[in-house]
């Protein structure tokens, strides 16, 4: 692998293209530019969805009305859910960092289908705009919750159809990205990079892409059926015409549970990527981590009905789904143990990306363990549809993947933009985010266990203390997010120039300039070693300092 920088050539950010201005971005088929397109558009939706979330928390500060009407609250939790899930956290890591890094990490010049990749982004933006437009159409924004449960989603007079279509189009975009990634990973790895020399982030993208391909069509057809049902009254899910609403729930969760793994797997991949770099140590149990990604993808596709333990399934069905749910925890726990084992006797260097990863492991463990509690049938009946469930999945989604995304942003920022950010504000932002997140969501778990139902506009006075703590937590969290964004945005222009490899990473993206040249590699590299080869530090520990 020669890493000698030759004659200065324009990087992908400054390259001359046929089109000028914004056209050079929104019509670019360069995977790096498409990654940035996703990043920018996704963050816009993220900020909108965070705003909805913060306003909802503010409403819950006092019992009864605080700032908004009940119907507004209903539309807020619906839009918060739809935007966070379909526009931010599902496309988040694969579409932004997957696009940017997949070809760089496997030593390729682009993804296999570059034009299809651009088309996926266009679908993404169409779906996103449709979701936004539905806010302002007569009839008002959807108020069904992000789950679109029938029969309410058939009866409500709000704009459910644009929201359904938005989710449908976003699903299509997700499928095409997954298809592109699988083909790329199969066909475009650099010579010498066999399957078990791939970085673990690539393994997680690969597992994710399979779920995207195999599960998303089910939600596609289900949402389409609800749309047809609303438009023509066909009667597929409408109980008055003989339809079965529980069947809808099955179809919905056949996708939406695996979607949780679409969300979390790339987050786990980011952790596996960052941890060995800052521990200066080969990752513990590489193969097992790779296989555990695949087995999470596989078992995760068979557990959907644990969302439906209260609908009146057969006991046998409940036992089976509960058992399968417990099985998923095995590969997840394997990862956590291997990460901890990686740190053991490492030469740990504490930097901001590493701190985000540590917070990830802590919060993901809380999310995972509460998930086990939810898998227990007797406990599940007790906490079904309470804040306990909401707390659990926010710990996994935000405490896990959300933090993984921020870790990735801080880890690859120098590579993507060629600048370093300031460490102190990043550290303060991290600290505030971690404190804020736990203040915000831990009371959810307690309240939920005490019986606070989810999605309720009003509550009994005994819950108020917890709601107040939680609302304060949301402010701390948002303050942390603002500091982090301001820091990163200022660093885009003012940050010090980043070297090729600021962290001492061993994967291929660190062997090209920061930011990478348009073609990624002058010559396709030949891979001889595994991705986390820190043997030199093990021989001479003093150079790690």
Partner 1 sequence: MTTAAATHTHRDDVGSRMGMWLFLFTELILFGGLFIVYAVYRFKFPEQFQLAARELDTLVGTVNTIILLTSSLTVAMSITAIQQGKKHLSMMLIGITIIFALAFLVNKYFEWSHKISIGIYPQSPELLNKPPGEILYFGLYYVMTGLHALHVIIGMVVLAFSMVFIATGKINQQSYVKLEAGGLYWHLVDIIWIFLFPLFYLIS
- Interface residues with partner 1 (CB under 8 A) are 12, 15-18, 28-31, 33, 109-110, 112-116, 175, 179-180, 182-183, 186-188, 213-214, 216-218, 220-222, 224-225, 228, 232-236, 241-244, 247, 251, 518-519
Q: Work out the angle at residue 49's Cα, subtended by the Cα atoms of residues 44 and 50, and round it to the nearest 5 degrees.
A: 95
| Measured distance CA(186)–CA(525) in Å, rounded | 17
Asked if residue 531 lies in contact with residue 197, where contact means CB atoms within 8 angstroms, the answer is: yes
Q: How far apart are CA 44 and CA 79, in angstroms?
A: 14
* 9 versus 536: smaller Cβ distance to partner 1: 9
Cβ atoms < 10 Å from Cβ of 362: 15
In whole angstroms, how large is the CA radius of gyration of the chain? 23
Residue 211 vs 357, nearer CB to partner 1? 211
Alpha helices, H only, 238-279: 245-279
Residue recorded with tokens 């417990």:
326
Question: In the complex, what is the shortest distance from the CB of residue 225 to partner 1, in angstroms, rounded to a whole number?
Answer: 7
Minimum CB–partner distance for residue 493 and partner 1 (Å): 24
Which residue lies nearer to partner 1 by CB, 236 or 396? 236
Q: Helix (H) and strand (E) counts for the chain? A: 19, 0
CA geometry: angle 506, 507, 508, nearest 5 deg = 120
Q: How far is the CB of 29 from partner 1 (least distance, A)?
A: 5
Residues 6+ apart with CB under 8 A from 522: 6
Token output for 375: 């898998």
Letter string b/e over residues 273-283, b meaning 16 or more CB atoms within 10 A of that residue's CB:
bbbbbbbbbbb
Shortest Cβ distance from residue 180 to partner 1 (Å)? Answer: 7
Q: Which is nearer to partner 1, 228 or 311 (CB)?
A: 228
Residue 209: CB minimum distance to partner 1, A: 9
Using the minimum distance from each CB to partner 1, give the nearer residue, 83 or 188.
Answer: 188
| Burial profile 412-444: b = 16 or more Cβ within 10 angstroms, e = fewer | bbbbbbbbbbbeebbbbbbebbbbbbbbbbbbb
* Least gap, CB of 198 to partner 1 (angstroms): 17
Judged by beta carbon, residue 226 or residue 268, the one nearer partner 1 is 226
A 10 A CB-CB count for 464 gives: 14
CB of 441 to partner 1, least distance (A): 34
Instruction: Kindly state the smallest distance separating residue 297's Cβ from partner 1, in Å.
Output: 15
Q: 175 or 193, CB closer to partner 1?
A: 175
Of 313 and 369, the one with the shorter C-beta distance to partner 1 is 313
């Amino acid at each position: 692998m020669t890493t000698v920088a030759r004659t200065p050539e324009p990087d992908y950010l400054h390259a001359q293209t046929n089109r000028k201005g914004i056209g050079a971005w929104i019509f670019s088929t360069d995977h790096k530019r498409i990654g940035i397109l996703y990043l920018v558009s996704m963050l816009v939706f993220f900020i909108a969805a965070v705003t909805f979330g913060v306003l909802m928390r503010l409403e819950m500060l006092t019992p009864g009305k605080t700032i908004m009407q009940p119907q507004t609250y209903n539309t807020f939790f619906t839009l918060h859910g739809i935007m966070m899930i379909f526009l931010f956290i599902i496309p988040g890591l694969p579409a932004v960092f997957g696009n940017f890094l997949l070809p760089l990490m496997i030593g390729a010049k682009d993804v296999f289908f570059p034009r299809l990749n651009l088309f996926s982004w266009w679908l993404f933006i169409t779906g996103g705009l449709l979701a936004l437009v539905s806010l302002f159409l007569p009839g008002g924004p959807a108020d069904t919750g992000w789950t679109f449960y029938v029969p309410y989603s058939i009866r409500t007079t709000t704009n459910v159809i644009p929201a359904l279509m938005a989710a449908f189009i976003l699903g299509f975009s997700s499928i095409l990205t997954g298809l592109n990634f699988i083909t790329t990973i199969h066909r475009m790895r650099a010579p010498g990079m066999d399957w078990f020399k791939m970085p673990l982030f690539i393994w997680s993208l690969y597992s994710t892409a399979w779920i995207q391909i195999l599960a998303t069509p089910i939600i596609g057809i289900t949402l389409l059926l609800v749309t047809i049902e609303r438009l023509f009254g066909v009667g597929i899910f409408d109980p008055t015409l003989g339809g079965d609403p529980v069947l809808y729930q099955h179809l919905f969760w056949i996708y939406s549970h695996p979607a949780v793994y679409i969300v979390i797997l790339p987050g786990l991949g980011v952790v596996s990527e960052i941890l060995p770099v800052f521990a200066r140590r080969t990752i513990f149990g590489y193969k097992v981590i790779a296989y555990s990604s695949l087995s999470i993808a596989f078992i995760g596709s068979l557990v959907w009905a644990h969302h439906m333990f209260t609908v009146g399934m057969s006991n046998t069905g409940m036992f089976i789904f509960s058992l399968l749910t417990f099985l998923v925890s095995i590969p997840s726990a394997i990862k956590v143990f291997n990460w901890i084992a990686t740190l053991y006797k490492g030469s740990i260097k504490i930097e901001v990306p590493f701190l985000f990863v540590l917070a990830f492991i802590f919060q993901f463990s809380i999310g995972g363990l509460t998930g086990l509690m939810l898998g227990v049938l007797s406990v599940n009946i007790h906490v079904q549809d309470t804040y306990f469930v909401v707390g659990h999945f926010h710990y996994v989604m935000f405490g896990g993947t959300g933090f993984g995304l921020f870790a990735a942003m801080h880890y690859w920022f120098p590579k993507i933009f060629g600048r370093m950010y300031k460490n102190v504000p990043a550290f303060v932002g991290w600290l505030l985010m971690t404190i804020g997140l736990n203040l915000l969501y831990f009371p959810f778990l307690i309240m939920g266990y005490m019986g606070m139902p989810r999605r309720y506009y009003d509550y009994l006075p005994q819950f108020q203390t917890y709601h107040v703590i939680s609302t304060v937590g949301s402010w701390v969290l948002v303050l942390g997010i603002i500091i982090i964004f301001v820091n990163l945005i200022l660093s885009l222009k003012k940050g010090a120039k980043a070297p090729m490899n600021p962290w001492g990473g061993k994967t291929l993206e660190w062997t090209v300039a920061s930011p990478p040249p348009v073609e990624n590699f002058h010559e396709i590299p030949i891979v001889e070693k595994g991705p986390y080869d820190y043997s030199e530090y093990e021989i001479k520990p003093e150079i790690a300092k």
